[in-house]
Amino acid sequence: MVTIGHKDTKTGEMTSELEMPNFGLGVYLMKEPGECKSAVSHAINSGYRLIDTAMAYGNEEEVGQAIRESDVPREEIFVVTKLRRPHATGYEEVLRRCRESMENLGIGPIDLYLVHAPPEDITAREPVWKAMEQCLERGWVRSIGVSNYGNHHLEDMLNYARIMPAVNQIEINPWLQRPSLISATIESGATPMAYSPLARGHKVRDPSLVQIAEILGCTPAQVAIKWCIDSGAITIPKSSNPDRIVENFHSQNIDITPVMEQLQSMDENYVSGWDPTVEI
Ligand SMILES: NC(=O)c1ccc[n+]([C@@H]2O[C@H](COP(=O)([O-])OP(=O)(O)OC[C@H]3O[C@@H](n4cnc5c(N)ncnc54)[C@H](OP(=O)(O)O)[C@@H]3O)[C@@H](O)[C@H]2O)c1
């Protein structure tokens, strides 16, 4: 578990802190009917307590169903969802979309609500964040954060935010290590959250990774996932495959300290999908 919270921009103090698991299941690209529900159910039964979804993934309903039908109490499962980028247009729309996500999930307050990416309309960034702060104030969500925010986006928030994000969810993995953005994220008061820890599966057969996994006696995916966790990021690999869901869960128990130097040298600035952190 990790403690997340919001830095007050006036006092510098941390507010509304809460505990969040530092490992969970991502559910992007689970579009077949029932696929997401069955992956989330299997993950919860295997010990996962954090689920990362988004309105853009079209599966908030299935995430909610799986949680409601599970034997694990709702309050023991931490749910993250996100405001779609095309919906990040202004104050009222954010409030409306937050309610919509709550209805889709049907599990009460959202544990962490993220702005999926910096709003494309720069003038919308302030009202969007003010509405996020309002969602928190109204108790619709237990914490708020951002995703795909670069150093300059975070810095700019100091001009308009009352409280800073609790989390910045960005792509982080051994091939995209981002030391500067991780430092800026921590400096802002936010905890880094690593999406695409396997570079969307592009890198699980990377020969250097395979060799390291052989030395450690685990799988290549487990090494990459554990590197993200050990770098201090909340890590959310996606899998729809029951065996890989369990395999990824056990990455938490792998000791990668003997191969840390080799892993640090694998950085190649490889972006597996999109990268709004570099946009204006
Ligand atoms: N905020 C954002 O902009 C953003 C962007 C991207 C992702 N995300 C979040 O981060 C989560 C994870 O990222 P991601 O889905 O992009 O990619 P990822 O977790 O890096 O990789 C997922 C891919 O790797 C495969 N895989 C999973 N476990 C494996 C294993 N043990 N061995 C071999 N292959 C394995 C999966 O296939 P199978 O399903 O067949 O196992 C899938 O094709 C997403 O689901 C989403 O929640 C957020």
CA of 156 to the centre of ligand 1 (A): 30
CB 192 within 8 A of CB 170: yes
Going by pLDDT thresholds of 50, 70 and 90, the confidence category of residue 90 is very high
Note the Cα 224 to chain centre separation in Å: 16
List the structure tokens of 234. 């909340």
Q: Is residue 31 within 6 Å of ligand 1 at its C-beta?
A: no
The catalytic residues are: 57
2-197+233-238: what CATH class? alpha beta
Tens digit of each residue's pLDDT (9 = 90 or more) over 222-273: 999 999 999 999 999 999 999 999 999 999 999 999 999 999 999 999 999 9
pLDDT digits (tens, 9 = 90+) for 92-113: 999 999 999 999 999 999 999 9
For residue 92, count other CB atoms closer than 10 A to its CB. Answer: 10
pLDDT digits (tens, 9 = 90+) for 76-89: 999 999 999 999 99
Read off the pTM.
Answer: 0.98
Q: What local confidence, expressed as pLDDT, does residue 31 receive?
A: 80
Model confidence over 3-59: pLDDT tens digits? 999 999 999 999 999 999 999 999 999 989 999 999 999 999 999 999 999 999 999
For residue 219, the ligand 1 atom closest to its alpha carbon is 31
CA of 220 to the centre of ligand 1 (A): 14
Does residue 277 register a pLDDT over 90? yes
Nearest to 240 by CA among 13, 7, 1, 25: 25
Domain boundaries, the chain: 2-197+233-238
